[in-house]
Homo-oligomer: A and B are copies of this chain.
Amino acid sequence: MTEAIVSMKEQIHQWLDNNREQGTKLLQKLVQLDSTQGKEREAQKVVAEELEKIGIKVDVWEPDGSELVKNPYFASSRSQFEGSPNVVGVLKGTGGGRSIILNGHIDVVPEGDRDQWNDDPYSGKIMDGKMYGRGVTDMKGGNVSLILAMQSLNSLGVRLKGDVIFQSVIEEESGGAGTLAGILKGYKADAAIIPEPTNMKIFPKQQGSMWFRIHIKGRSAHGGTRYEGVSAIDKSTIVLNHISQLEKKRNERVSDPLYKNIPIPIPINVGRIEGGDWPSSVADLVKIEGRMGVSPEETIKQAKKEMEDWIKSLVEKDDWFKEHPPELEWFGARWLPGSIDVGHELMNTLVRNFRNVKDEDPAVEASPWGTDGGLLTEVGTTPAIVFGPGVTEVAHFPNEYIHLDKVFEAAEIIAMTLIDWCGTEV
C-alpha cells in the first residue's frame, strides 16, 4: 500500500467514525418509514435529500407501467407505479475514469405476522450494536453504506474521474421493475455493486429464479370406493419425486468452484401444495407451486425448457399421465441470474480493498438467490457484484436486524473501491 492510499483509508475511516451518529440516524429514519410495495415515496424523499446535500442532482420518476409491461424482462404483481418513484443521482466524474452503478432497492417485504416481532417492525430500535426493523438488513443498511461512501469522498474533497451512478430503486422484491426502468432510461456503467445482505461475502454470481405452478389431475370418487377414482394427491407424490430428480440432475452439472460450499447450488423448491376439497372424496385436482433456481451459466429460457420437457416426460413414469398430463405454468416473480467474470477488474479491486480494510480475505461465493444484478448484467450490459453488510439469515424474517459496525465497514470498503475503480484527480 502506498502512503497516499494509507492516508486516504485513514481519512475515510476517521470521517466515518466522526459521522457514525449521523449515519445511524439516517438508517433509523429509513427503517421507520415503511416502504413496502406501493409506499416507497417517503423513504425515497429522504434518500434524495441525502444526495442533494452533497450537491448531486437527482432524477426522481415514477416508472411508466404501460411502457414497462411491453418489455419481455418485466415481471411484477402490478403495472401501475404511482406513488413509487425511483431515485437516481449521478456524481459526474472529471473524465477518463471507469463508471460504476451503485444499486440498492428501497422496497421491503411485508412485515408478516406482527406477533412474531419482539418490537414494532418499523421501530429501528438499537440494542447491543444491532439495529432492528423490517428492511434494515434487506437492504436499507447497504443503501446507507453507499450513501456514506459517497458523502465521505465528497467531504474529503476526493474528485473521481469516472461517473458514480447511485440508484435507489423500487420493486426488487417483486421482480426488478425499478432497475429495469433505470436501464430503459439509459443508465448504464462499466460495472456495478449491489449491497444486498451477503454477510460481507462477495458474490460475483447470483442464482436466478422463477416461479412455477403445476396442475395435477385425478378422478373423483367416494372415499369408501376410492378404487373407482384416481387420487390427484397420490399422483402429486410422483410429480414431487420427479421434480426432485430434476433438481439432482441439474445440480450434478454445476461444477463452478464458487458453489463448492453450497449443498444444492440451484434448488427447486416446492413451497405450496393444495388439493382436494372433501376428506371422504378422492381428490381430482392438486396444485403445487414452487421456485426453480436458474444457474448463472444458463438462461431463463434454457431452464424453462428443461423443466417443461421434464414434466412432459412424466408420461414415462405413470400411464395415467398419458391421458392426463400435468400442466406446467410460469407465473409471478422472476429474477434473472447474474454473473461477472471472477477475474473482472472490479472483483480484484473490491477484494483488494476488502483486505485493506478488514485485514482478512473475503469469502467469495455464488449467491443462492437472485438480485437486480441479473437485469443489470443481462439487460443493462453492466456486470454486477453483490456485496453488502446485511445478515443473510434474517432477511424476510421477523426481528430482522443488522450489525451497525458492518454498515460502516462496508461504506469504507466501497469508498476505497470507488477511488480505485473510478480513479481520482490527484
Q: A residues engaging B (CB < 8 A)?
A: 207, 209, 211-213, 222-227, 231, 233-234, 236-237, 240-241, 263-264, 267, 269-283, 286, 288-291, 293, 332-333, 367-370, 395-396
Instruction: Sample 26 A-B pairs with CB under 8 A, ordered by A number.
Output: A209-B280, A211-B279, A213-B279, A222-B369, A223-B269, A223-B291, A223-B293, A224-B370, A227-B267, A233-B273, A234-B240, A237-B237, A237-B240, A270-B283, A271-B276, A271-B277, A271-B279, A271-B282, A272-B275, A272-B278, A272-B283, A273-B274, A273-B276, A276-B289, A279-B291, A280-B291
- CB of A280 within 8 A of CB of B211, answer yes
Q: Which residues of B contact A288 (CB under 8 A)?
A: 233
Contact of A281 among B209, B226, B271, B282 (CB under 8 A): B271
- CB of A270 within 8 A of CB of B231, answer yes
Q: Which residues of B contact A333 (CB under 8 A)?
A: 280
**Which of A212, A236, A237, A280 gathers most chain B CB within 10 Å?**
A280
- CB of B222 within 8 A of CB of A368, answer yes
- CB of A368 within 8 A of CB of B291, answer no
Chain B nearest CB, measured from A274 CB (Å): 5
A275 and B236 CA atoms in complex are apart in Å by 13
Contact of A271 among B212, B240, B267, B278 (CB under 8 A): B278
Q: What are the 4 tightest A-B residue pairs by CB atom distance, in nearest-first order?
A: A223-B269, A280-B291, A224-B369, A224-B368
**CB closest chain-B residue, reference A283:** B271
Q: Which residues of B contact A271 (CB under 8 A)?
A: 223, 233, 276-283
Chain B nearest CB, measured from A294 CB (Å): 11
Q: Which residues of B contact A395 (CB under 8 A)?
A: 222
Q: Which residues of B contact A280 (CB under 8 A)?
A: 209, 211, 269, 271, 290-291, 333
A233 and B209 CA atoms in complex are apart in Å by 20
**CB closest chain-B residue, reference A332:** B279
A58 and B202 CA atoms in complex are apart in Å by 85
Q: Which residues of B contact A369 (CB under 8 A)?
A: 222, 224-225
Q: Which residues of B contact A282 (CB under 8 A)?
A: 269, 271
**Which of A226, A236, A271, A369 gathers most chain B CB within 10 Å?**
A271
Chain B nearest CB, measured from A201 CB (Å): 13
A394 and B279 CA atoms in complex are apart in Å by 18
Q: Which residues of B contact A272 (CB under 8 A)?
A: 275-279, 283
**CB closest chain-B residue, reference A244:** B234
A332 and B226 CA atoms in complex are apart in Å by 19
Chain B nearest CB, measured from A115 CB (Å): 15
Q: Which residues of B contact A234 (CB under 8 A)?
A: 240
**Which of A212, A240, A267, A333 gathers most chain B CB within 10 Å?**
A267
A227 and B266 CA atoms in complex are apart in Å by 11
Q: Which residues of B contact A222 (CB under 8 A)?
A: 368-369, 395-396
- Asked whether A275 and B273 contact (CB < 8 A) given A224-B207, A227-B267, the answer is yes
Chain B nearest CB, measured from A244 CB (Å): 8
A289 and B282 CA atoms in complex are apart in Å by 11
Q: Which residues of B contact A267 (CB under 8 A)?
A: 223-227
Taking A209-B223, A237-B237 as given, write out 10 further A-B residue pairs in contact, using a Cβ cutoff of 8 Å, ordered by the A residue number: A213-B279, A223-B269, A233-B288, A236-B273, A270-B276, A271-B279, A271-B282, A272-B283, A273-B275, A273-B276
- CB of A226 within 8 A of CB of B275, answer no
A91 and B273 CA atoms in complex are apart in Å by 55
Q: Which residues of B contact A233 (CB under 8 A)?
A: 240, 270-271, 273, 288
A227 and B226 CA atoms in complex are apart in Å by 36
